[in-house]
Amino acid sequence: MRYILRISSKKRKILSLMSITYLFFCSLFLYCSTPTYAQDRRIVTEPSLPHTLCGTYTPSSSASLQSALDSCPEGSALHLSAGHFESGPLIMPSGVFLWLDQGAVLAASTNPARYDQGKNLCGTIDRHGHGCRPFILFSQTSGGGIFGPGVIDGNGGQPMADTDETWWHLARRAQYEEGKQNIPRLIVVQDAQNITFAHLTLRNSPNFHVTLDHVSGATFWDVRIDTPEDARNTDGIDPGSSEDVTITHSFIRTGDDNIAIKAGRNGPSRYISVLDNHFYAGHGMSIGSETFNGVSHVLVRNLTLDGTTAGLRIKSDSSRGGLVDDIQYDHICLRNNKWPIMLDTHYDPHAFGFDTPRYRTISFKDVYGAGGILLMHGIDDSNPIDATLYNVTFSSSAAWDLQYVNITENNVTPALREPNAQPQMTQNPCATQWVPFPASPPEK
C-alpha cells in the first residue's frame, strides 16, 4: 500500500500546515469533495416515443420507405409494423423518429450499386475506402432517432448482389491485400444534435454499426448490437468529435471495438457517459486511436467486459495523438481478457508524426478482473501516463507491464512493485454481475 503526495519545494514554502493536511487526506482517499464533470451534462432519462404518429408502414405499402419518412412532420414517428422490409440507403429527416415494432426487421440491401457515391467504388477494394453511403444517415438534423423493439439488420454476412462474396469477406480480403474495403456503415450521425436510439437491436453490420461525427447530444438506451466476433471493422458505437453523449443499459458483442471514443480533425470528444452496460466479444471499451483534438470528461461506470480481447483501452500514437484527460472508470468487472487494462501510446509502432499522445488524470476505481496483461506504456519520460488506481484487483496470474508512468495507488493487486506479501481478494464483487447476452427478439 502506497500513497503519493507530490508538492514542489516552492509550494511547500507557501502552503500552510492546514492546506498540506487537507491535500494529504485528499490524496489518501483519492477523491475529494471537488465536483467532477466527467460525464454527459444533460439529465438523461429513459426516452419515450412522441405521441404523434405520422403513419404506419407495412409490407404492403406502395410508397417507398424514404417517401414515407419524408412525409412525416418534425416531432412525429413513422411506425414500421411487424414484417420484413428490405431497403436501400435512407436519409432521416430532422426531428423524425422511426419506430420498429415487435417483429419488424429492416434489412439493408446487399446491392453495392445502391450505396455507391458515383465512382463505382462501393463493393471494391482501393487505397481509401470511402466509396459507400451508409444505410441510415442523420445529417444536419435536430431531434429524432430510432426506437425498437424491432431489428435493423445490415446483412453483412449475406453475399453481395451478383457475387458469392459477403461484405465481411470483402473486408477480410482487403486486409490481406493491404487495401481498404468500400463497405457501407449501418448508421451515421453527422453535424446533428439530440438524436435518440432506444430499445433497438442492430445486427450484422457490414462495417461500423453507429458512428457520430460532430454531434451534440446523443442517447443510446437499451441498444443491443450483435455481430460475429470475426466480422472485421464492425465497431459497436463510435462517438467522434462529439459531446454530451450517454450510452446506457446496452449489450454489445461485435468484431471490433465495442465502443470507441475518438477525436479527429472535426473537434474534441467530451462529456460522455457509458453507464450500466455489458460487453461480450469485441475489442473493448476504447478511446482512440484518433485523439487529435482531445478526449476528456468521460465516465465509464458499472460495465462488465466478458471475453473482450482488450478491456479498458486507450490507444493512440504520434501520427494521431492528442490529450486524453479526466477519464474515470468506476466499478468495472472483467474476465477472459488478454489485456484487461491497455493504455498504449504506440498503437502503430511504426507511426511517425508530431501529434504526441498524452494521457492525464486517468482514474480506476473498484476495478476487478482475472488474469491478463495490465499494460500502461507512456510515450517518454517527459510525457508519462498519469493514472490513479484505487481498489484495483486482479488474480495472481495477471501481470503489470509499465513504461513511463506516474501512478498513485491504493489497494492494488497484483502489486505494481515486488511486495513482501501479496494481498488476496477474499470476495469477488463481480460474481453476480455477469449476465448472458439477451436472446434475439422473436420475429413475427
Q: Which residues are catalytic?
A: 256, 283
| CA–CA distance, 9 with 5 (Å, rounded to integer) | 12
Residue 265 makes CB contacts below 8 A (sequence gap 6+) with 241, 292, 293
Between the alpha carbon of residue 229 and those of residues 129, 155, 192, 309, 315, the distances in Å are: 21, 15, 30, 10, 20
Pairing of strands 210-226, 237-240: parallel
Confirm if 234 and 255 have CB atoms less than 8 A apart: yes
Cα 442 from Cα 444, distance rounded (Å): 7
**Burial (CB count within 10 angstroms: exposed 0-12, middle 13-18, buried 19+), residue 127:** exposed
Q: Grid coordinates representing 19?
A: 492546506
Fill in the amino acid letter for 436.
P
Give the whole-angstrom CA distance, residue 268 versus residue 293: 5
